[in-house]
Chains A and B, each alone.
Chain A
Amino acid sequence: MKFLSLRLWLVAGLVAALSVEQALANEGKLLATGGVSSIEGSGGGGLVPWATTATYAEKNQWGVTANANFADVDDFQLGVQSVNFSYDNRIEVSFAKQRLGLNTIGGALKQDIFGVKVRVLGDLIYGDLPQFSLGLQHKRNQSFALPAAVGAHDDTGTDIYASVAKAWLAGPFDRTWVANYTLRATKANQLGLLGFGGDKNNDYSYMSEASVAMFLNRHWLVGAEYRQKPDNLGFVREYDWRDVFVGWFPNKSVALVVAYVDLKSVAGLPDQTGAYASLQISF
């Protein structure tokens, strides 16, 4: 029922976004330079937050995006709904609700994520300096019974990250390329869905996350991402995640990403590979 209403809401939003086309003022950035929304609500790729601010808002403009992400791997289904506000191509505020359905084990894990990101210096496209941003993701687990039972310490946690992103208009093969590197300090187990800290390690870990992508033309982007993950729980080892993706940016109102994700072994269940899709509507 909940998913049905979400779908209706998204369809309504999509129709609205397509009908207003590019009539809004808050679209000062170039097509696709707002990126999409990551699984934690922050503007980025799919698995990795980027230094870019979501939406097309340039200096003195504001923008809003509504997003839905969905991943379906062998034993789990991750659903994310998020909204993202940005102003001035400078600050981004996001809110995301995550739900991980445990098909094999039964039940679901949930958390809410409040995000903020500030572009500190540089620019994705222009000038010598790449775009450099700092961000926070404050996560509140809403289903802590299972995480507590497997050794997680806290039901809330805050990730801190620094991201650097750069686009090359005429990179290799005379195509436009974009790369992002994010360094994250985190205590989150499986994004925080399994709580924060644990019996094996209860300190912050510094994790590397990277994305590289190439525009086939103005509307189609192909790329890959890698996300290192901490390993705090004794009951089972946590693995790094990766994906390859295709993004479609038909106009500044809509972006669609599909990906093949490899989450390795999650909660002791091996070979978690599958499909990922993300839809973003910009207002």
Chain B
Amino acid sequence: MLSVKKALFGALLLLSVAPSSALSSELYQQLGKKAGIDQLMTTFVFAIAEDERVIEHFARVDIERFHQMISQHVCELVGGPCRYEGADMVEVHTGMAITRAEFNAIVENLIHAMEQEQVPLSAQNQLLAILAQFHGDIVGK
């Protein structure tokens, strides 16, 4: 009985030191490099455009530039040979008052896009983990 408890506790400890994005350049490969990321972000932008929960935030956004910037940013974040030239996430989202529900809606759009582009689940999860770190910079600003 006690050993089961110890094992569970051990499992919890193990979980708390789980790796984050040590294999990010491998992730860049898994996402299909620059062309794959561009395609994924195109599908993502189309998913957002059809989502009435969040579309109001994109009403005055230059979609072509948004696509270019987010592709560049993702490419850099996953360890690809890109340099993100846009503003930081706090600056971009300040004044937008994005809610937690809206942030989650965007996450769902990304998940749908990744499923549509048949991104492997392990790569999906790694990308989500990287992007989730921006939650605090984006929500409620």
Seen from chain A, the residues whose Cβ lies within 8 Å of a Cβ on chain B are 28-31, 58-61, 89, 125-127, 166, 168-177, 179, 181, 208, 210, 212, 217-218, 224, 226, 228, 240, 242
Q: Which residues of B contact A226 (CB under 8 A)?
A: 4-5, 8
Which secondary structure dominates where chain A touches chain B?
Answer: loop
| CB atoms of A30 and B126 under 8 A apart | no
Q: Name the residue of chain B whose CB is nearest to the CB of A30.
A: B104
**Bound state CA distance, A179 and B11, in angstroms?**
9
- Give chain A nearest CB distance to B15 CB in angstroms: 5
- Give chain B nearest CB distance to A22 CB in angstroms: 10
Of A126, A127, A170, A212, which one neighbours B11 at CB under 8 angstroms? A212
Instruction: Tally inter-chain residue pairs, CB-CB below 8 A.
Output: 85
Interface string of B1-43 (1 = CB under 8 A from A): 1001100110110111010110000000000000000000000
Q: Which residues of B contact A240 (CB under 8 A)?
A: 1
| CB atoms of A208 and B104 under 8 A apart | no
| CB atoms of B101 and A177 under 8 A apart | no
| CB atoms of B12 and A168 under 8 A apart | no
Q: Which residues of A contact B82 (CB under 8 A)?
A: none
| CB atoms of B111 and A218 under 8 A apart | yes
**Bound state CA distance, A172 and B8, in angstroms?**
15
| CB atoms of A28 and B18 under 8 A apart | no
Sample (12) of A-B pairs whose CB atoms are under 8 Å apart: A28-B104, A30-B108, A166-B15, A168-B129, A170-B129, A174-B121, A176-B125, A179-B11, A210-B9, A212-B11, A218-B111, A240-B1
| CB atoms of A181 and B12 under 8 A apart | yes
| CB atoms of A28 and B101 under 8 A apart | yes
Q: Which residues of B contact A29 (CB under 8 A)?
A: 101, 104
| CB atoms of B18 and A172 under 8 A apart | yes
| CB atoms of B135 and A127 under 8 A apart | yes
**Bound state CA distance, A169 and B139, in angstroms?**
19
| CB atoms of B15 and A172 under 8 A apart | yes
**Bound state CA distance, A207 and B15, in angstroms?**
22
**Bound state CA distance, A169 and B20, in angstroms?**
9
- The CB with the most chain B CB atoms within 10 A, among A174, A208, A228, is that of A174
| CB atoms of B15 and A171 under 8 A apart | yes
Q: Which residues of B contact A125 (CB under 8 A)?
A: 132, 135
Q: Which residues of B contact A208 (CB under 8 A)?
A: 5
Q: Name the residue of chain B whose CB is nearest to the CB of A171.
A: B18
